[in-house]
Structure 1
Amino acid sequence: MVEAAIFVIFPFCMVYAALSDMVSMTIANRVSVILLLAFAVLAPFTGMEWSAYAWHFAAGGIVLACSFGLFAIGAMGGGDAKLLAATAVWMGFDHQLMTYLLVSTILGGMLTLALVIYRNSPLSLFTGRIAFLRHFADQKAGIPYGVALGIGGLMSYPASPLMLWATSRLLAG
């Protein structure tokens, strides 16, 4: 049961956040809350030591402080900041967090570049009426960075501590 929750909850939240940000330019608070509560409940069942458990939450707190600073200066949306912090809790305070942050940053830069090119192309005039692409074509809209965070999370998740535990349990029998 714990393994199934580990395999489903995090990926579902990442996909939901990415799609939600694409369509509405918002990431609901419930996504970050679900991620935090699910980790808080599931991690002790994996045999994670309490000190490691605390470090996972410390990683989330530090990332929240940094991303809140970016939000305060207008460089990041509030939903993005909260999602980034909640995802950091799942990654923990080790190289996997750095991998997630690096991958998401690179994807975010690529997304930004692609949107600048797309928004300045004639194609955006035709596709901007499609609800799914409305915010992508809007010159005044920001960048739906939740897309990069969601994809970065999905790419980094297979090597995260909980996923490694769940995979080893399934492979063991």
Structure 2
Amino acid sequence: MLSFLVPVLAAAFAALVLTGAVRDLVSYTIPNWISGAILALLPVAILAADLSLATAGLHVAIGVGVLIAAMAMFAFRWIGGGDAKLFAAAAFWMGWPAVTDFMLWTALTGGVLAVVLMSMRRPPLRPLVLLGPPWLVKLSEPGGAAPYGVAIAVGALVALPKSPLLSGLVL
């Protein structure tokens, strides 16, 4: 009945996670409204995709599980608060089995991001990076944080097509 909304909602989800990634990249912050909007769109997406109650419940259970894990990662200072919220909000959209791809691609992209940041922060590249825009200079500061929202966005965008929310949608 509302299936025509599914591609629109998927595009909105993609735009929101990309906005979170860009904001994290340039300012090391992910505004709460981004994670809030992702969560606010979820019930509409569940209705539009005509998910069964069991499948919708699994989406929620996965999201709650990832939220607990993200809170633990934040408590250990492995990721920032905005990263934890974006990670959990995106996980609510994944469902099973897409959440496994989401976590795998987020972790792999996070590893690549770490290698790139470490390279930018070393003497051979740092002088070149210092010629760039202020946000790039900040990224290259030795000992600085990593904008993990970038990895979360990549993981979410790669995994989303496997989500039950998009089943039946040809991408």
TM-score when normalising by structure 1: 0.89
The reply on whether 1:30 has 2:9 as its aligned counterpart is: no
Aligned 8 A contact 1:22 1:135 in 2: no
What do residues 92-151 of structure 1 show as CA deviations (whole Å, max 9, x unaligned)? 1x2210111011101101111221121013432332351241332112420111111111
The answer on 1:127 being equivalent to 2:148 is: no
Equivalent residue, structure 1, for 2:108:
106
Corresponding residue for 2:83? Answer: 80
Maintained 8 Å contact 1:63/1:84? yes
**RMSD of aligned Cα (Å):** 1.6
Q: Which of the residues 11, 25, 35 maps onto 1:8?
A: 11
Q: Matches of 1:13 and 1:113 in 2, distance apart?
A: 26
For the 8 Å contact 1:60–1:88, the answer to whether it is kept is yes
Same amino acid, percent of matched pairs: 31
Residue type at the aligned position of 2:129: T
Contact map agreement 1:125 1:137 (CA 8 A) in 2: no
State the alpha-carbon separation in 2 of the partners of residues 138 and 28 from structure 1. Answer: 23
* Conserved 8 A contact 2:119-2:125: no
Change (3 A) 1:164 1:135: farther
Gaps of 5+ in 2: none
Q: Name the structure with the higher helix share.
A: 1
Give how far 1:42 is off. Answer: 2.0
